Amino acid sequence: MVAGSDVNEYERLVKEEISLYEQHLPKLPPVVPDPMQRLYVVRVDGVEALQHAGAGFRLMTSCVTDDMMVSLFHVTTDRYHVNNGAEDVLQLAQVLRHVWNMLPLKTRLAWEDAARKLTLAAKPAKEMRKRAVQMKVAYMFLVCSDCGLWLPIRVNYATERLPKAWSFFATVMENHTCKKLVPLLIYMAELMDVPSRDARVLIQFVPSFLRNFPYTCEECKIDAFATPDEMDLHFQEVHHIKYKCTKCGECSGTELYHK
């Protein structure tokens, strides 16, 4: 158990460290400095990890001048190890992230709130709210929630492609159950740059048989199969599980191989 005096001493040291950082950090409300004051630290803005960070952190770093950065770097490296093998710009980003993480939650939330207000006050956001967007194009797809099938549905195929396209559609429907097909209708303001057969949504469907992948067998105390073939053969021969294909008559021991 940690003694009360040790806890108090730790809290004192943390407050002392935060106080040192705050002496060299920008204050709220945010004031973006002149570019000539950020000739050195401006490179941090291009670090990919920082570009994907929270708005409050990005706003704070955009207000850090070269003089602030040098002071923060020395204050931090006097206490902690910074990866000397990394590029200098990554070392600066590492220091800024550490300083941000050490700040009290109240301070970080204040920066997040300031970033949100700046975004809402920006002119492009106001213009977007006033601009009416008409959905002039609709794309339809058939998606199977079981196996992940993604089938574009069209009526305006080119004349030379029409027989082949509908023949493919009929073949798929003949060999696929319709029970788990989901019609997906997507409205867009304009045509896509890619053919509909190559289009995919970012929200991926996870086929159910992948969620139920039997990589172990509790009954036989098998923690893992060496290969997928061994797994399928095990369930066929030991447990007599057979999924029979209605087209070719071939049997599989798992739903994965059956599909």
d(CA 35, CA 40): 10
Residues 85 and 176 in one domain: no
pLDDT tier, 211 (very low <50, low <70, confident <90, very high otherwise)? very low
Residues 76 and 156 in one domain: no
Residue 111 has pLDDT above 90, yes or no: yes
- Longest C-alpha distance within the chain, in Å? 84
Sequence-distant (6+) residues with CB within 8 A of 151 are 141, 142, 143, 169, 172
Least confident of 24-33, 211-220, 225-234: 211-220
* 179 belongs to a structural domain: yes
Report the pLDDT value the prediction gives residue 79, as an integer from 0 to 100. 79
If one counts every other C-beta atom within 10 angstroms of the C-beta of residue 103, the result is 19
- Tokens, residue 231: 């797994």
pLDDT tier, 200 (very low <50, low <70, confident <90, very high otherwise)? low
Residues 42 and 157 in one domain: no
Residues 119 and 159 in one domain: no
Residues 108 and 176 in one domain: no
Residues 75 and 27 in one domain: yes
Strands 243-244, 251-252: pairing is antiparallel
What 8-state DSSP symbol labels residue 30?
A: P
DSSP H or E stretch at residue 243: strand 243-244
- Burial letters 108-118, b for 16+ CB under 10 A, else e: bebbbebbeee
Residue 204 has pLDDT above 80, yes or no: no
User: What is the tens place of the pLDDT at every residue in 5-51?
Assistant: 666 787 888 888 888 888 889 998 888 899 899 998 999 888 888 88
Q: How many domains does the chain have?
A: 3
Instruction: Please tell me whether residue 188 adopts helix, strand or coil conformation.
Output: strand
Residues 29 and 72 in one domain: yes
Residues 46 and 98 in one domain: yes
Residues 193 and 219 in one domain: no
Percent of the chain topping pLDDT 90: 11
* 251 belongs to a structural domain: yes
* 207 belongs to a structural domain: no
Can you state the angle between helices 88-102 and 55-62, rounded to 10 degrees? Answer: 120
Note every long-range contact of 119-125, with CB atoms under 8 Å and residues 24 or more positions apart, other chains counting: 119/55
Note every long-range contact of 77-81, with CB atoms under 8 Å and residues 24 or more positions apart, other chains counting: 79/17
Residues 59 and 26 in one domain: yes
* 175 belongs to a structural domain: yes
Measured in Å, how far apart are the chain's first and last C-alpha atoms? 57
Contact between 231 and 209 under an 8 Å Cβ cutoff? The reply is no
**Length in residues, the chain:** 259
Residues 41 and 123 in one domain: yes
- Tokens, residue 42: 């401006």
* 96 belongs to a structural domain: yes
Residues 147 and 172 in one domain: yes
Cα 167 from chain centre: 38
* 225 belongs to a structural domain: yes
Q: Which residues pair with 141 in a beta bridge?
A: 152, 184
Give the domain range for residue 101.
Answer: 4-127
* 19 belongs to a structural domain: yes
* 132 belongs to a structural domain: no
